[in-house]
A and B are shown apart, each in its own frame.
Chain A
């Protein structure tokens, strides 16, 4: 079935640097969701994107859905140690979520 590829798999940044994770599909997606999983925790829903070219912001986090609805990105401005965790994209088709492999973000203070 459809798959979403997420890159990079890992990212180390210095606190204050920006961070971006990308989610790519070979086929058009009807929607994309983003989740964050803190170390030792469980995935928590962040946001959902539905429209072509959609951009949403949550404080320092900016989420984009590509014009062709085949890719999405999550950008964090000026990372903080509280941003540490794994970020997953996922798309929902017919009640089921299919997840990307996740990007693990590590922030050096």
Chain B
């Protein structure tokens, strides 16, 4: 059974803290993605990676960075958390190509106070 896991389901951080969100997939997928989900806005792509050490900006990369040192692991970093980064963060992975589905992790609900 395919699996994408995320390090935390719920996380509470203070403004200005550095935050790491970890994602691991066991499907040997080349592509990995980070989205944030907010009510009424759907899923918005923050960053994606199509290979180890490769990354591409998505639609809303400001305030975020990513790291992909190993194929199975993709980390999202908030260098200095702000209250407007309170959101649900979803990681996903897929094989390369256009006609492929994405597999999502359970999500991390991050609250920044």
Determine whether A78 belongs to the interface, using a CB cutoff of 8 Å to chain B.
no
Partner of A93, one of B90, B94, B98, B106: B98
Residues 79-113 of B, flagged 1 when their CB comes within 8 A of A and 0 if not, give 00000000000100010111111111111000000
Interface residues on B, range: 20 to 34
SS of B interface (majority): loop
Among the listed stretches A14-22, A39-47, A62-70, which one makes contact with chain B, having 4 or more residues with CB under 8 Å of it? A39-47
Determine whether B50 belongs to the interface, using a CB cutoff of 8 Å to chain A.
yes
CA distance A1 to B104 in the complex (A): 23
Residues of B within 8 A of A88 (CB): 42-43
Residues of B within 8 A of A48 (CB): 99, 101
Q: Which residue of B lies closest to A44 (CB)?
A: B104
Known contacts A42-B106, A96-B58; decide if A101 and B41 are in contact (CB<8 Å).
yes
Chain A contacts to B: CB under 8 angstroms: 1, 6, 9, 30-31, 33, 41-45, 48, 50, 88, 90, 92-102
What are 6 A-B contacts with C-beta separation under 8 Å? Answer: A6-B42, A45-B101, A88-B43, A95-B97, A97-B45, A99-B43
